[in-house]
Structure 1
Amino acid sequence: MKNFVFIVICFYSSFFLSAQEKEILFTIDNHPYYTSEFLRVYNKNLDLVKDDSQKDLDKYLELFLGYKLKVEKAYKLGLQNNTKYQNELNSYRTQLAKNYLNDSKVTNALVEEAYDRIKKEVRASHILVMVDENAKAEDTLKAYNKIVDIKKRIDKGENFDDLASRFSEDPSAKENKGDLGYFSAFRMVYPFEVAAYKTSVGKTSNPFRTRFGYHILKVTDKRENRGEVTVSHIMIMKPATPNAELELKAKQTIEDIYKKIKQGESFESLANQFSEDKSSAAKGGLLQRFGTGQLTSIEFENIAFGLKDKNQISEPFQSQFGWHIVKLIEKHPVQSLEEMRYELENKVKRDERSLLITNSLAKKVRAKYSFEKNDNVLTAIKSIVTNDYYNEKWEIPQDKKGIEGEIAVINGDGKLYTPDFVKYILNQQKNGIKTKPISKLIDELFEKWMDEKLIEYYDNNLEKEFVEFKYVMDEYRDGLLLFDLMEKEIWTKAKTDTTGLFKFHKEHEKDYMWKKRLDVDLLSSTDEKIIKKAKSYLKKGKTLEYIKEKLNTEEKVNVMVKSGEFEEDYDVLSAFNVKSKGITSVVSKDGYYFVANVKEVKEPQPKEFNECKGKLIGDYQQYLESNWVNELKKEFSVQVNQDVFNNIKGQLEK
């Protein structure tokens, strides 16, 4: 009875879903859109919206209808035929399909291998002899012989570094003698990684090949992975062009900041005030966590990882970007395998090692799909391929008799044609296959080709195999079209419609106003007496250089200066309540004392067009888009099935 009830429930559920699939919610120029898609998208986004008004079904229908109107407009304009769009859509599908072209057993083995390697960092040097993957046999042999000769010289005792400088075709080898620094799994191409982890410290590998050419590597060290580190830093950039005076000033500034840190001032406050790394200064100098080899500055990495204790601060040091002071926030050891599994699976799927998964998948699709081959055609092909194939001199004969038509059929509907296989044979010739006799070689190539075609057939039918794959592709297809349409109809127009922009700016001038602005020299100190002294100097008309010279010493930086034009609510300026130019009173904030020399006061005024152009373009885009949907409703014939929609509302509101 339980089974019977379950079957009945399943039947009615299936019936309800199929009925929804066929229920037309609305049409746009007679193109039907069904309730099933509307409900799926609504339910999918329900938990993502925070504003309850966006959950209102009437408003959501308007949004959904507007979305589909834009998609219809895109098709009407033929944007789906754009080569760039098609390439991007195909690229996305390829990426999405990788999740389905997978073998979990092989994937797990590769994940565990990668994790074992991640626990160690390898330092290696290499020598590269470049050769293209598809190079001719003679070029490949020439490169191989060259790398073998270099290996022989190493085996006889010649210095690896010297040989790398002289013979390696890696452009960086002249400077680094082939030294690649430390790395772990996924930092190098897979064959290189394999060779590095299998070679002992102090030993040199045998020649091996990657897509770049032939390599020899020497492992110089292996150590435990240092994990990742989170630090904050203060940075004073080096001058864009060499300038001894500016370089000295940068060095002096970082040393002054370091003195203030040693005096007990807040690292974060100083980073906020003086660090020239704009992306981190507002966060107190905080950087995203990183691991070995992830930064372009080895000096910065080594200093950061060299800090031992939480909140420890480095002395000033120089990198190729400028001067830094680093504060250790936290060290992050290597996580457990289970914690890293998801991340590692994604990396495996994007890496060269995914080919191992593909080979395993080929076995599965052979079991899933049937295929029939035409033995007569295969025999005819064997008769036209000569021994010239082994010398890479074979060509497809002009007479195509017997090598046309179908050579195989997958699952009864996937037709494979003979000329495609013959071209495949021709292209494989450059790989130097030595299998003999020819008949055996053709059988070998046919099986390899069939593996590729079976996986291709499986890939092409993912929409039929997996309904969720179909839904995601449908959404991305429409979304990508909508992006192209918005760029064409709204975003580009908003940027280039100068007349419309100027008109919009004039009509909304009050929305683009400068607050009161102050041209100031802002002086700060942690010592109230010092800042009062600085104020007295300002009143006497002394220069900033004079004030710093009088109040700062070699051992202690007592006062720092920041100059520029700022709005009145910038940082501490609001506390001064400035009415006119002149020397302000002393105010305090967060343990600092401030005084300002206000050189000019600019009252609130509308921003000039160029002063607010960025925000203006964004607002103009929104203005154009809000009026656009109404225009589309006039352009297309829209019919909403209100009875069907009311039925949906009734179901969802229960």
Structure 2
Amino acid sequence: MRLKHVLLGLCVAAIAMSYAQDKTKKVLFNIDNHPYYTDEFSRVYKKNLDLVKDESQKNLDQYLDLFLGYKLKIQKANKLGLQNDANYLAELKSYRTQLSRNYMTDTKVTKELVDEAYQRSLKEIKASHILITVDENASPADTLKAYNQAMDIRKKAVAGESFDDLATRYSQDPSAKDNKGDLGYFSVFRMVYPFETAAYKTKKGEVSLPVRTRFGYHLIKVNDIRDNRGQVSVAHIMLMKAENPVEGESVKNNIEDIYKKIKQGENFESLAQQFSQDRSSAGKGGHLQRFGSGELSSEKFEDVAFSLKNPGDISEPFQSQFGWHIIKLIEKTPVRSFADVQTEMESRVRKDDRSKLIDASLSEKLAKKYNIEKNPKLYAKAAKLVTDKFYEEAWEVPASTPELEGTLLVINKDKKVSALDFLDFVNTQQKTKWGIRPIGKVVDQLYGKFIHNQLMNYYNDNLEKENPEFANVMDEYRDGLLLFDLMEKEIWNKAKTDTLGLKAFYEKNIANYQWHPRVEANVFSSTQQDAIQQTLKFLKKKKSIDFIKEQLNKDNKVSIMVKTGVFEEGSEALPKYPKLNVGISDVIKDGNYYFVIDVLKKMPKGPKTFEETKGKVINDYQQYLE
């Protein structure tokens, strides 16, 4: 599969440049009455021009020959019916699904969100919060109750009551009892998007209005705003927190003793391996993964790490909620430029809550682009069939009845959607816990979601018509996949399994499979002249290879290396030497190495056996078949 992906990668090495298709296409050539046009050839040639290293392939006429040969192979694959193979269709479908995600987007909104995310990433916010939980599908009454409770608490905070005390008393975040609502410092992508947005829009020292997330309503107090410190790489030595004061004093003394060893010049990583009780990092010399503010569970640890100035600096012992630490700075990494993080941020935006804004914007544009014909009467009939059993996950889609006949939606005067399609969708939503009553309001919400999904699906199904760039990439991948399957079936597999054909090809081209003069020898090498001189003495005394290695490779030090085998004269395995004869050579110096060669036998030039050269014969036979 790896070879397959490499070859296909060459076929679709870059996303094709957008182009406006000429209405008056010019035919470049025909194959079996199927026309191929100049615009496709021009586009592919220009796109691959910088990718081709072989200068001959940049010649227009020669590239045209390659293009023609390529299309002939695709035509051959189609004639063999490879385009109908189940595995081919499955892989093509999988690739299309993956590729289409890059086109199912609103470019303008995506860019705005990426720009916003980068600007936010330049700052870090220290905030506290109070959470009043309410389910995202709660009833309006429950939602209003939670909102009013949050507003009452905010009034107390604005009036001057301690936010920490209010968080301890009222917050329904389980951690608030311990941390008083303190979230420490964080930056972009660390919180859910609505929370993040409210935090970045609230001024230092102020308390936000209630902010709705999927967890409930939040009040956010911004305690500090600072420039992003970037990321830091450190190693640490950690001794776990003691269970009582007596043990605590012992732990403190131990960490101070380790610190003294470091100051005396002992290796930090070795000490971490011996003494650190953080088992996840001790074996790696105490090294931790790179981190930024708010990414660890200890603000104290982060602050000490970022306070170190230069790589190699070591902190004094300090205590966190987990125990005692000594930190060594490995590297500080500043906030990266927008150009460096743009692609990464685009990916994170698409996976984040922000993606809902992109989908909503695209859906709105599609609703304007495509005419949607709705059938209100049929919808009313379908909606009445959804009962309160839905709340218990016990509702079932009714069998098709005359009252459900007809079309519920028509998209772009093309795609027809039935009432049963909608009810099947409703059935999939029962596992969500809905607090909204009556059931009709739930069905109305689901109908809006269903229309959104149908619009997106219709757009996806017609991407080739809507987006020439997408169509071009799919065409190239489709052809590249077919070409691979053709080559595998007709060339590579045949060349490997056609034993009679291979041997006939070998015998016909025996002149291409010849040995140069060879020697069977033991080749001794070393960077140390005295070691190779000693080797020469041992060889003259007819000592064995094992004896020589035992004598010269001692105390975990390798002084002599030995290669044994048959070598062609002039091969890279042998040093440069005028002529090798049977017997023991003198000491030969070649570059930084010294050699002695014990030649056991000389072998004249001559033909290789089929088995000796089978790999090359298969490769040559493949090229011949192609």
TM-score by length of 2: 0.60
Please say if 1:376 is aligned against 2:373.
Answer: no
For the residues of structure 2 that align with 1:519 and 1:353, how far apart are their CA atoms?
Answer: 69
Partner of 1:37: 40
Query: Do residues 75 (structure 1) and 71 (structure 2) align?
Result: no
Q: Deviations over 1:7-40 (max 9, x none)?
A: xxxxxxx999433x1x333222222222322333
Shift of 1:381: 0.8
- Please say if residues 74 and 80 of structure 1, whose CA atoms lie closer than 8 Å, have aligned partners that are also in contact: yes
Quote the offset at 1:536 in angstroms: 1.4
Aligned to 1:226: 233
Q: Could you tell me which residue of structure 1 aligns to residue 545 of structure 2?
A: 544
Question: Distance between the aligned counterparts of 1:494 and 1:471, measured in 2?
Answer: 33
Q: Secondary structure at the match of 1:405?
A: coil
**Once the two structures are superposed, what CA deviation does each residue of 1:183-218 show, in whole Å capped at 9, x if it has no partner?**
x999x9x99xx9xxxxxxxxxxxxx99xxxxxxxxx
After the TM superposition, which of the residue ranges 534-543 and 47-56 deviates more from structure 2?
47-56
Instruction: Measure, in 1, the Cα distance between the counterparts of 2:612 and 2:350.
Output: 44
For the structure 1 residues 601 and 107, does the alpha-carbon distance in structure 2 shift closer, same or farther, using more than 3 Å as the test?
Answer: farther
Residues of 2 paired with 1:303 and 1:571: CA distance? 41
Conserved in 2, the CA contact under 8 Å of 1:115 and 1:337?
Answer: no
The structure-2 alpha-carbon separation of the partners of 1:300 and 1:525, relative to structure 1 and needing over 3 Å to count, comes to: farther
* 2:510 corresponds to 1:509: yes
1:594 aligns with 2:599: no
Q: How does 1:414-429 map to 2 (within 5 A)?
A: 414-429=415-430
Whether the aligned pair in 2 keeps the contact of 1:501 and 1:620 (CA below 8 Å) is yes
- Cα contact 1:531–1:586 (8 A) shared by 2: yes
Q: Secondary structure at the match of 2:602?
A: strand
Distance 2:427 2:23 in 1: 49
Q: Which residue identity does 2:102 align to in structure 1?
A: N
Tell me the equivalent position of 1:18. 23
The 1:524–1:115 alpha-carbon spacing in structure 2 relative to 1, beyond 3 Å, is farther
Residue in 1 that maps onto 2:526: 525
Match of 2:133 in 1: none
Cα distance in 2 for partners of 1:528, 1:304 equals: 44
1:49 touches 1:55 (CA, 8 Å); kept in 2? yes
What displacement does 1:408 show? 1.1
Structure 1 residues 333, 511: closer, same or farther in 2, change over 3 A? farther
Aligned equivalents of 1:613, 1:301: Cα separation in 2: 49
- Tell me if structure 2 keeps the 8 A contact 1:519–1:565: yes
8 Å Cα contact 2:231-2:332 kept in structure 1: no
Pair 590,421 (structure 1): closer, same or farther in 2 beyond 3 Å: same
Identity of aligned residues (%): 43
Task: Indicate the SS of the match to 1:611.
Answer: coil
Matched residues in 2 for 1:336 and 1:407: separation? 51
- What CA distance in whole angstroms lies between the structure 2 residues aligned with 1:32 and 1:112? 48
Whether 1:498 aligns to 2:509 is no
Instruction: Name the CA shift for 1:491/1:402 in 2 (closer, same or farther; >3 Å).
Output: same
Q: Which residue matches 2:301? A: none
1:385 paired with 2:390, answer no
Q: Is the partner of 2:23 in helix, strand or coil?
A: helix
Aligned to 1:214: none
Q: Is this contact kept in 2: 1:403–1:419, CA < 8 A?
A: yes
- Specify whether residues 111 and 348 from structure 1 end up closer, same or farther in structure 2 by C-alpha distance, changes over 3 A only: farther
TM-superposed deviation, 1:300: 6.6
**Corresponding residue for 1:488?**
489
Shift of 1:484: 1.6
For residues 166-185 of structure 1, the aligned pairs below 5 Å read none
Q: Which residue of 1 aligns with 2:98?
A: 95
Amino acid in structure 2 at the alignment position of 1:504: F
Matches within 5 A, 1:340-351: 340-345=340-345, 347-348=347-348, 351=351
Structure 1 letter corresponding to 2:23: S
Does the 8 Å CA contact 1:114/1:344 hold for their aligned counterparts?
no
Aligned equivalent of 1:241:
none
* Matched residue, 1:435: 436
1:540 deviates by 0.8
CA separation in 1, counterparts of 2:59 and 2:174?
77
Question: What's the offset of the Cα at 1:60?
Answer: 3.5
Residue 616 (structure 1) shift: 2.1
Q: Specify whether residues 415 and 555 from structure 1 end up closer, same or farther in structure 2 by C-alpha distance, changes over 3 A only.
A: closer
* Residue identity matched to 2:367: R
Separation in structure 2 between the aligned mates of residue 435 and residue 76 of structure 1, nearest angstrom: 58
The structure-2 alpha-carbon separation of the partners of 1:549 and 1:30, relative to structure 1 and needing over 3 Å to count, comes to closer
1-side partners of 2:473 and 2:99: how far apart? Answer: 9
Give, in whole Å, the separation in 1 of the partners of 2:58 and 2:528: 56
Aligned 8 A contact 1:494 1:617 in 2 = yes
Partner of 1:65 in structure 2? 68
Greater mean deviation of Cα atoms: 440-449 or 51-60: 51-60
Cα offset, 1:111, TM superposition: 8.4
SS in 1 for 2:74: helix
**1:444 CA drift (Å):** 1.0
CA distance in 2, matches of 1:618, 1:334: 51
Equivalent residue number for residue 336 of structure 1: 336
C-alpha contact 2:231 2:334 (8 A) present in aligned 1: no
Answer yes or no: is the 8 Å Cα contact 2:117–2:188 preserved in 1: no
**Cα distance, 1:528–1:572 mapped onto 2, change above 3 Å:** farther
Evaluate the alpha carbon distance shift between residue 353 and residue 526 of structure 1 in structure 2; reply closer, same or farther with a 3 A threshold.
Answer: farther
Given the superposition, is the C-alpha separation of residues 566 and 37 from structure 1 closer, same or farther in structure 2, using an over 3 Å criterion?
same
Q: Retained in 2: the 8 A contact 1:111–1:345?
A: no
Inter-CA distance 557–305: structure 2 relative to 1 (3 Å threshold): farther
Computing the radius of gyration from Cα coordinates, the structure with the larger value is: 2
SS of equivalent residue, structure 1 residue 494: helix
Report deviation, 1:457: 1.8
| 1:378-435 superposed Cα distances (whole Å, 9 cap, x missing partner) | 1011121111111111112235222233111223333222221121111222334443
Whether the 8 Å contact between 2:230 and 2:335 is mirrored in structure 1 is: no
Shift of 1:438: 1.8
Give the secondary structure class of the aligned counterpart of 1:573.
Answer: coil
Secondary structure of the 1:32 match is: strand
SS of corresponding position for 1:18: coil
Which residue matches 1:475? 476
- What is the correspondence of 1:243-642 to structure 2 with a 5 Å cutoff? 333=333, 336-345=336-345, 347-348=347-348, 351=351, 355-356=355-356, 357-554=358-555, 557-571=558-572, 573-625=574-626
Q: Residue by residue, what CA displacement relative to the aligned partner does 1:574-597 show, whole Å, maximum 9, x if unpaired? A: 423453332112122332212122
- How many angstroms apart in 2 are the aligned matches of 1:454 and 1:117? 34
1:429-459 deviation digits (Å, cap 9, x = unpaired): 2334443212111111111111111111222
Please state whether the residue corresponding to 1:609 is helix, strand or coil: coil
TM-score by length of 1: 0.57
Q: Distance in 1 between matches of 2:288 and 2:440?
A: 63
The letter of the residue matching 2:336 is S
Q: Aligned partners of 2:508 and 2:590: how far apart in 1?
A: 40
Kindly state the Cα deviation for residue 535 of structure 1 after the two structures are TM-superposed: 0.5
Per-residue deviation, residues 447-484 of structure 1 (Å, max 9, x unmatched):
11111111112222322322222222222222222222
Task: Work out the CA distance in 2 between the residues paired with 1:442 and 1:491.
Answer: 57
Deviations 1:149-201 (A, max 9, x none): xxx999999xxxxxxxxxxxxxxxxxxxxxxxxxx999x9x99xx9xxxxxxx
1:532 shift after superposition: 1.6
Structure 2 residue identity aligned to 1:18: K
Determine if contact 1:382/1:439 at 8 Å carries over to the other structure: yes
Query: For 1:553 and 1:43, how far apart are their aligned partners in 2?
Result: 61
Letter in 1 for 2:508: E
Q: Distance in 2 between matches of 1:117 and 1:570?
A: 57
Does the residue aligned with 1:430 lie in a helix, a strand or coil?
coil
Structure 1 unpaired stretches of 5+ = 1-13, 121-151, 158-183, 195-207, 210-221, 228-295, 307-311, 313-329, 626-654
Output the aligned Cα RMSD.
4.4
Give the counterpart letter for 1:341 in structure 2. Answer: V
Shift of 1:541: 0.6
